[in-house]
DNA sequence: CCGGATCCGCAGGGATACTG
DNA sequence: CAGTATCCCTGCGGATCCGG
């Protein structure tokens, strides 16, 4: 992450006057999590595991089409580290590694759900907006 | 984006047997939108606009602390192109540009809401998981 | 053979200076 | 004030090698 602290001087009117007495440290932490989670591969991997339950490394790689081995390993390791994914190594030959969402990971995928539904519901509207924008630009 | 098509040969059991007869082209489009939307700066900008209603360029830049001018302009332009953000230029000197969420952008921010709530609710659990992971690794 | 660590080339993001 | 243009460097992705 590593983002500068927000300048306290800015004055903007809040639309909905939330009782915003949250600890700025907490807020930073939440934002840090958001930044980790707001990642293309993270969302796609969590979604894949949510849909299929348990997957092996190669299965995951195929389902999340287009991801490099490096990014898959990297992302999945960070998810394990954050307690969102359970990684089980079966010490056999050839190797066999299973990935599953933890309960917390599952709850996150539920939270993502709204975004997926939004995307399914609005993709045509987005397309239309793009056309309109392109036409307007000319 | 640019991601390889999923290999049709993979066979994995679905956890919840969704009536998944969706057009793969549609699915690709949805995924394309997800990939655009699952972006750190995108989420932060949309959230900022959702919280504050209407913002000028510099206000937005301060609130979304740490973003470079390039990424702010770039992201906000793509949001405008996709019909999520309305950009209003007041032809005065010095220039004055307002950014607001369109109704569609607002609906997306509502969809994001679940993720924000999740982050607020689970950040301590994530912290704990990280500690546990670090301890286990040693 | 599967999972993943390593090396490298290149696109994409950050910092800075400049303009209407 | 709100960008655009430029340079630079990190970090992604592809290829390759390795350990079990």
Cβ–Cβ < 8 Å for B76, B85:
yes
Angle at alpha carbon of residue B43, lines to A24 and B105, rounded to 5°: 125
pLDDT at residue number A86: 96
Task: Measure the CA–CA gap between A1 and B40, rounded to whole angstroms.
Answer: 9
Q: Coil, strand, or helix at residue B9?
A: coil
- Select from A40, A67, A82 the Cβ nearest to the Cβ of B38: A40
Is there a contact between A15 and B126 if contact means CB atoms under 8 Å apart?
Answer: no
Is there a contact between B37 and A115 if contact means CB atoms under 8 Å apart?
Answer: yes
pLDDT at residue number A137: 74
The pLDDT tens digits of the residues spanning B32-70 come to: 888 888 899 999 999 999 999 999 999 999 999 899 999
Q: Coil, strand, or helix at residue B97?
A: strand
Cβ–Cβ < 8 Å for A63, B31:
no
Residue B44 corresponds to which tokens in the numbers above?
A: 């932060």
Q: Which residue of B has its CA nearest to A121?
A: B30
pLDDT at residue number B21: 58
Burial class of residue B32, CB neighbours in 10 A (0-12, 13-18, 19+): middle
**Residue B1 above 70 pLDDT?**
no
Q: Which residues contact B27 (CB under 8 A, 6 or more apart)?
A: none
- Select from A6, A84, A115 the Cβ nearest to the Cβ of B62: A6
What percent of chain B has pLDDT above 90? 62
- How high does pLDDT run on average in chain A? 84
> Which chain B residues touch A103 with a CB distance below 8 Å?
none
Which residues lie across from B98 on neighbouring strands?
A: B56, B88
Is there a contact between B81 and A13 if contact means CB atoms under 8 Å apart?
Answer: no
pLDDT at residue number B100: 98
Q: Which of the pair, B52 or B3, is modelled with greater confidence? A: B52
Residue position matching structure tokens 């956890």:
B15
Q: Which runs of E-coded beta strand occur in chain A?
A: 54-56, 85-90, 96-101
Per-domain residue ranges for chain B?
A: 26-137
Q: Coil, strand, or helix at residue A90?
A: strand
* Low-confidence stretches of chain A (pLDDT beneath 50): 1-11, 14-19
Classify domain A26-137 by CATH number.
1.10.10.10
- Other CB atoms within 10 Å distance of the CB of residue A133: 14
Q: Which runs of E-coded beta strand occur in chain B?
A: 54-56, 85-90, 96-101
Task: Measure the CA–CA gap between A30 and B125, rounded to whole angstroms.
Answer: 12
Q: Going by DSSP bridges, is the β-strand pair B96-101/B85-90 parallel, antiparallel, or unpaired?
A: antiparallel
**Nucleotides in chain D with any atom closer than 7 Å to protein CB:** 1-6, 12-16, 19-20
Residue in A32, A54, A45 with CA at minimum distance from that of residue A109: A45
- Select from B38, B55, B81 the Cβ nearest to the Cβ of A38: B38
The helix, strand and coil proportions of chain B, stated in percent and rounded to the nearest 5, come to: 60, 10, 30
**Nucleotides in chain C with any atom closer than 7 Å to protein CB:** 1-7, 13-17, 20
Residue B81 corresponds to which tokens in the numbers above?
A: 């192109």
- pLDDT-derived band at B26, boundaries 50, 70, 90: confident
């Amino acid at each position: 992450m590593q983002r500068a602290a927000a300048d306290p001087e800015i004055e903007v009117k809040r639309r909905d006057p939330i009782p915003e007495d949250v600890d700025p440290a907490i807020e930073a932490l939440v934002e840090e999590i958001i930044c980790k989670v707001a990642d293309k591969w993270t969302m796609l991997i969590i979604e894949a595991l949510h849909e299929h339950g348990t997957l092996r490394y190669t299965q995951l790689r195929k389902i999340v089409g287009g991801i490099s081995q490096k990014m898959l390993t990297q992302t999945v390791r960070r998810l394990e580290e954050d307690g969102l994914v359970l990684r089980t190594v079966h010490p056999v030959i050839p190797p066999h590694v299973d990935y599953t969402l933890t309960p917390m990971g599952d709850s996150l995928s539920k939270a993502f759900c709204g975004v997926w539904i939004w995307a399914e519901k609005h993709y045509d509207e987005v397309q239309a907006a793009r056309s309109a924008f392109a036409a307007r630009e000319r």
